Copies of this chain bind each other. A is one copy, B any other.
């Protein structure tokens, strides 16, 4: 691969001049510029990014640290991020922590987690990235050692415990409110909830939204009608069974994700209760399955691509804030 020096020699100009042309500086004669540009094209010269990155202060590289690339949310968030970064001509270095597959135990092990994340950040600093985006697998509070770096950092899909870090998250509260509102508007008053894990932030915010809306409509919130589950289909099965044992006149079940809603369907269908007719069922996430369930599931779409885009914009603009993005109601046939 040809270098700047060789290129300059071929054109009979100095390397400084070629460098200036490459960087779009205006202090070069038009004739010279054209001549050099021509040779660049002919030779297929490509600047060495390592050399440039060493000398210049900016590397035009953003570090993406993703907790798990195989989480359903990750690819679309990254898609959104890259769509913005690409426009601005940024490169992306990806670090996949693989927390789901490799470090199953570390969601709650603060020390181990802290070590993993700091190593990842150090890696990024080593590469001299211009900024770091942290893409979590699910919402929770995360503490980042910010004193070790001084480059822009945005966290998405989780909440930074530090106040000096920006973040983008979904608005679980208003989304749950909207869903509950929809149920009530459809005449449902006795609404049960299959929530996620009890200590999970999504669970807490959504539950809070549900309560708020019930209150607004003067419907008493009944703690008995809340069952916590593990976000999985089987959890939905168990939760539904419990719910049906507790009460036989539930009008609607708001499942806090689609997979649990699918488990809910399983139980209802087995008992010859028709979802959407005998009991309204709604989900959350708008996972692909929700379209394939029969009847198709009303749910909340998480605007992942938009979340990614907002995150990238925030990183580039750099004004400290914590943004909440509302979800989008997808009305289907299960109410």
Binding site for B on A (CB under 8 A): 1, 44, 46-51, 53-54, 59, 64, 69-70, 74-76, 78-79, 82-83, 86, 91-96, 98, 101-102, 122-123, 125-128, 148, 233, 262, 269, 287-289, 292-294
Contacts and interface: CB of A to CB of B under 8 A. Distances in A.
A262 B98 contact: no
B93 A93 contact: yes
Contacts of A82: 69, 96, 98
Nearest to A96: B82
Given A70-B75, A83-B98, A289-B292, A47 B93 contact: no
Given A79-B101, A94-B92, A94-B94, A50 B44 contact: no
A272 to B, nearest CB: 14
B93 A125 contact: no
B91 A127 contact: yes
B54 A50 contact: yes
Which 4 pairs, one residue from A and one from B, show the smallest C-beta to C-beta distance?
A50-B53, A94-B94, A50-B54, A46-B126
Nearest to A91: B93
B262 A48 contact: no
Contacts of A123: 91
Contacts of A92: 93-96
Given A79-B69, A79-B70, A98-B82, A49 B127 contact: yes
A44 B122 CA distance: 9
Contacts of A293: 292
A64 B101 CA distance: 20
A206 B127 CA distance: 45
Nearest to A100: B79
A233 to B, nearest CB: 8
A96 B78 contact: yes
A46 B129 CA distance: 13
Contact of A79 (B53, B83, B98, B126): B98
Contacts of A69: 75, 78-79, 82
B50 A59 contact: yes
A44 B148 contact: yes
